[in-house]
Amino acid sequence: MLVSLQLGSLIAPAYACGCGAMVVHRDSEVAVDRETSAVVWDGTTEQIVMRLTVRGNAPDAAWIMPVPHRATVELGDAALFSELKAITAPVTEERHYFWPRDKDWPFGGSGNASGDGAPAPSAAAPVDVVGRERLGPFDVARLAATDPAALEGWLKENGFELPDRLATALTPYVEQKWEYVAVRLAPQEQGSRLSGTLDPLRLRFASDRLVYPMRLSRLAATPQSLDLYVLADHRMEPRGAIGGRPPKVAYAGRVDPAKEPYEALAAVTGGKPVFLTAIGQYFPSPERIDGDHELRATADDTPYRTVVYRDELLTVGGMPAWLLTLLGAAVVVVVALLLVVRARRRRPVPPPPPVFAPPPLR
């Protein structure tokens, strides 16, 4: 039971895009702290560039990624994610308020406020190894399988120990004749443990639709977060929530990598301008995930950028505007009263009416 629970907790990272399954040997532990993906699609070819940050005591681990068509695999450029992060970073704008708040004087504080390829074969041996290579720290096997049990058996024979429920989760992909990229993750130095940020992997395969595999994330034991950079001809959106909360757009805008320049971005887009959409989604109950993300173009390429407001108390010359306003109003009142008093003092006093003596009585 302990082993089963341990393997179940390692099927998906606690903070990840979730498009794969992570497993280790019985006596090892590994966790994926972060999994970041960029998806590039030109209408016929899709690329997924993924980077993992892992920690644990495992000498190696396995990561399984389903793909709709035969994929080529190579090392990616870590600079791509730095460029995408810079492009999509929120902009900060100051927003002023007039009346003091709890942290402002006289309630508190000092008066300054700030807020900080080809399709998979339809008939073949149950498992067909279509390629295997060593890429940096990765031992990559590209597989075509028509039987999930045979797939599981081949992986176990080659050192990948998988829980039974993963074979069940892979069944929809086998039925659709998808292929798989099986990656053995190993540390850079012999004898060390798997930990830290690994080199990114870049997968490329033919696809007439933009799809991001998510089904395996339903095996996760903890809530999942999806952070996805989508690069295409137009602004893209998921067709549905697939069991999570509604996806949210953090950035949308056209980018020309040749003008900035963004060299890593240009390498995956061929130097052509693309529309970049940054999408985030939260899955509080991963077991409800019922499909893969299929993305489509939106009706309009409306740009969007997240704005973070920093609230500042409105000041004039370093003095709070509200205080200056009250002082100014008080001065105006005092001056007005003085003028009234002065005007009254200068007003001439009319003489009393004349007194007429009554005529004498006769």
- Ramachandran quadrant class, 152 (left: phi over 0; alpha: psi -120 to 50; beta: rest): alpha
How confident is the model at residue 204, as a pLDDT? 93
Instruction: Enter the pTM of the model.
Output: 0.72
Q: Which helix (H) or strand (E) holds 79?
A: helix 79-88
- Point out which residues pair with 323 in neighbouring strands: none
236, pLDDT greater than 80: yes
Please state the rounded mean pLDDT for residues 137-160.
Answer: 71
In terms of residues, how long is the chain?
362
The model's pLDDT over 102-136, given as tens digits with 9 standing for 90+, comes to 777 777 655 444 434 334 334 445 677 777 778 87
**In whole angstroms, what is the distance from residue 49 CA to residue 72 CA?**
12
pLDDT digits (tens, 9 = 90+) for 62-113: 777 888 998 888 889 999 999 999 999 988 878 877 788 877 777 765 544 4
What are the residues whose beta carbons fall under 8 Å from the beta carbon of 191, sequence distance 6 or more?
none
Mean pLDDT is lowest, of 83-92, 213-222, 280-289, 323-332, for 213-222
pLDDT for res 123: 44
pLDDT at 318: 81
Instruction: With CA atoms as reference, report the closest residue to 73 among 137, 133, 160.
Output: 133
Write the pLDDT tens digit of every residue in 343-356.
Answer: 777 777 677 777 77
Task: Quote the pLDDT of residue 106.
Answer: 75
Instruction: Write the DSSP symbol of residue 98.
Output: S
Residue 190 banded pLDDT, cuts 50, 70, 90: low
pLDDT given at position 117: 39
- Does residue 25 register a pLDDT over 80? no
CB 37 within 8 A of CB 49: yes
Q: Over the chain, what is the mean pLDDT?
A: 78
**Which residue has better confidence, 40 or 180?**
40
- Tens digits of per-residue pLDDT, 6-18? 333 333 332 233 5
Q: Mean pLDDT over residues 299-325, rounded?
A: 85
CA angle, residues 7, 1, 10, in degrees to nearest 5 = 10
Residue type, 318: G
Across 257-263, average pLDDT: 87
Q: How far apart are CA 35 and CA 278, in angstroms?
A: 15
Pairing of strands 224-232, 30-41: parallel
